[in-house]
Amino acid sequence: MMSQPIQPPDWQWLPIVLPHLQIVHHVQGRLRLRLLPSLLTVLPHISDSLFKAKLATLPGIIELRINKPAASLLITYDPYQIQSAWWERLLQASANDVPSLLVEIGLLHPLPSATSEDKAL
């Protein structure tokens, strides 16, 4: 099943959540993230459905599992669709860099460049 590119409002939560995630372990195709306690200040209720609904839209995601007692999220992904280094870049990205990272994996479409005709208007 091919993921549909998400619309800008669908990804705007991501830069808010990223500073509250930390890589615990990462091998190609499998990533475990620590959900830092500060995440609770951003998201009053952490639910499996939140992460599954949002992160599952990334192309190449195979499985998401939350371990609430351990405060971790396990992401199994297709390394042919999402390169290992992309995750590291995403977790270190500023809010301004997130859209371009999502474009890299086909989740967002780049905005068309303004043509000279558009600029003249």
Residue 29 included in any domain: yes
Tell me the whole-structure pTM to 2 decimals.
0.74
Residue 51 included in any domain: yes
Contact 50, 43 (CB under 8 A): yes
So what's the pLDDT on residue 81? 87
So what's the pLDDT on residue 2? 47
- Span 1-13, pLDDT tens digits: 445 555 555 677 7
Residue 46 included in any domain: yes
- CA-to-CA dists, residue 119 to 37, 43, 50, angstroms: 47, 41, 41
* Helix H or strand E encompassing 75: strand 72-77
Residue 103 included in any domain: yes
Domain containing 19 equals 8-120
What is the identity of the amino acid at 77? Y
Residue 1 included in any domain: no
Residue 3 included in any domain: no
Number of domains in the chain: 1
Report how far Cα 8 is from the mean position of its chain's Cα atoms. 13
Residue 85 included in any domain: yes
- Span 8-55, pLDDT tens digits: 556 777 788 888 899 999 999 999 999 898 887 776 655 556 666 777
Here the CATH number for the domain that contains residue 23 is 3.30.1360
Residue 2 included in any domain: no
